[in-house]
Amino acid sequence: MGRLRNALLMVLMAVPLACSAPAPPPSPQLGKIAERPWEPMKSAEYRMATAKLGPMPNSGLLLPVVSPDGQWIASLQTPPNSPVSLEDFIRGDRCEGNSLLLRQTTPDAPARAVCEAGAMWAAWSPAGGTLVFTARGSDGRGELGIHDLASGATSRRAVGPRRLAMPAVSPSGNKIALVNADNFPASSQIYIMDLSARTFQPGPPLSEGSRQLWPQWVDEQTLVFLDWTREPPTRPAYSAEAAAKAGSDSGGGAASSLCRWTAGQDDVQTVAPLGSLPTTFAVLQLLVSISGPVSPDGKAWVCYDRLADHLTVVDLAKGTRRSLAEQTRAACWMGPDLLAAADKDLFVYTDKGPAEGSRLLRGLWVPLWASREGDTILLCTLGFAEDAFELVRVYLVWRR
């Protein structure tokens, strides 16, 4: 499996990545932008200003995660020439040298390590005061880390499984959904940690042959997640043209569905079929370039449809799917009905706008975070070093 260094942005440049040799060093001109004051744009909808915030690590595995208030950003840092593959990362293998860095989103703010070794997945509490992460302990066991912004204190605890992945914090901050990946890729299951009750228990019922991944909270009691089975889909989910576009990676896949589960229920509800995900790489790529898949109002979920090579928005109530423009591959919500999405440029999509979206910026960008009002966006682009991003803040005034 080729290294994912720069894959989180290179995926926007060409066909979806597959097993291949490492990509060549990126051009520093991609997505380059200078600071500029308020000025009219070639759009009747908004005017904008930009501010460069400086470099940050590009692990080649996960995008940095931004606190809900947009004031802090955490990024994974891997050692140079790290051999970590996607399968390794989901299982937590060979991650001993990874660290998790935290900095403010102010120009050239210094970074500090909240986890110096064994760091993996990270997520913020909705209130923004807590950063949670998974890590491998010195004894090889999986640990849950909790960093408190106010005190600067970090605690780590082993909770049972040796391999923990994909943490998601509930709206109250009292529950954390985690993937127990001890038996991955044969199987994986979502567990729920209740911080108040100090319990760690299985969440959604696991059917035979299934792998539960990518949990996201819709409300305090309800999760949506990916169910990836070993059984073939009952009917083709994509056209032959779309399958051909994915190449050899599309054959012999396993059926996947977006599912919903509410605590206390014995059954899992299928929200929408997502088609065949042929490899572990495809499973990770589904949401690896999406910052916060669930919309702020909890009514929609967005993912990258690898076979069709575009973003897909799923209505969580109706299960209907809406496709964005071809080669849209990264996104973040800017409000309940506004989505910033990137292909070779950065676009804004809304139900009432044009189907192809409205161009916001030219160049290669990945949107990381946006305010609920949609007036501020944090973006990253390829840095001048192979293992770095450049972080940029964009201010918008909408003419509504």
Q: Please tell me the distance from the alpha carbon of residue 190 to that of residue 203, in angstroms, as a whole number.
A: 6
Give pLDDT, residue 358. 87
Backbone phi, psi, residue 75, to 5°: -140, 145
| Average pLDDT of span 3-19 | 38
- Determine the 3-state secondary structure of 273 from DSSP: strand
Q: Whole-angstrom Cα distance, residue 302 to residue 294?
A: 7
Assess whether pLDDT exceeds 80 at residue 237: no
Structure-model confidence comparison of residues 227 and 87, the more confident one:
227
Residue 388 pairs in a beta bridge with 57
For residue 16, what pLDDT is reported?
32
Q: Strand pairing of 142-148 and 154-158?
A: antiparallel
Mean pLDDT of 279-294: 88
Residue 328, C-beta contacts closer than 8 angstroms, at least 6 positions apart: 310, 311, 341, 342, 343, 347, 357
Q: Which residue has the tokens 């060409």?
A: 14
User: CA 381, 278, 281: angle at the middle one, nearest 5?
Assistant: 30
Pairing of strands 388-398, 376-382: antiparallel
CA 134 to chain centre: 15
Q: Average the pLDDT over 249-268 and give the result.
A: 80
Q: Assess whether pLDDT exceeds 80 at residue 123.
A: yes
Token reading at 146: 């909790």
- pTM for this entry: 0.85
Are 225 and 206 in contact by the 8 Å Cβ rule? The answer is: no
71-86 confidence digits (pLDDT tens):
999 999 988 876 677 7
Cβ proximity of 325 and 357 under 8 Å: yes
- pLDDT of the residue at 42: 46
- Tell me how far apart the alpha carbons of residues 296 and 118 are, in angstroms, rounded to a whole number: 31
Higher per-residue confidence, 394 vs 231: 394
d(C-alpha 320, C-alpha 272), whole Å: 7
Percent share of the chain, pLDDT over 70: 81
Q: Summarize the confidence of residues 386-398 as an average pLDDT.
A: 87
Instruction: Please report the pLDDT score of residue 398 as a whole number.
Output: 67
Q: What is the pLDDT of residue 223?
A: 97
Q: In this model, does residue 205 exceed pLDDT 50? A: yes
